[in-house]
């Protein structure tokens, strides 16, 4: 079931310059603990971090690992809040 699914997610934000349209590049590694599979991905996201938020809402990870830089993002700063 969905409650048994356990994902551990590592997020890395590219600390290079932001593009002219204020987009940032993210790298994501997802560990599915049920299948022991690792999936790697990278993507460009808007200033609201829409793709990142969608990914986190779909995966509903049990653990998230990220750097201090990314914690400054408004969406990411809310990840630790209980809903």
Helices (H), strands (E): how many in the chain? Answer: 3, 4
pLDDT tens-place string over residues 5-40: 689 999 998 877 766 677 889 999 999 988 999 999
20 contact partners, CB below 8 Å, separation of at least 6: none
CB contact at 8 A, 11 and 28:
yes
Query: Considering the entire predicted model, what is its pTM?
Result: 0.71
Question: Which position has the token pair 């204020």?
Answer: 22
With a pLDDT cut of 90, the percent of the chain lying above it is 42
**Angle CA 67–83–46, to nearest 5:** 45
Residue 69 phi, psi dihedral angles, 5° rounding: -60, -45
């Amino acid at each position: 079931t969905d409650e048994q699914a356990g994902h551990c997610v590592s997020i890395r934000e590219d600390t290079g310059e932001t593009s002219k349209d204020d987009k940032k590049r993210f790298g994501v590694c997802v560990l599915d603990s049920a299948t022991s599979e690792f999936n790697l991905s990278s993507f460009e996201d808007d200033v609201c971090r829409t793709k990142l938020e969608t990914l986190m809402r779909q995966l509903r990870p049990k653990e998230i690992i990220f750097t201090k830089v990314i914690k400054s993002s408004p969406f990411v700063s809310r990840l630790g809040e209980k809903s």
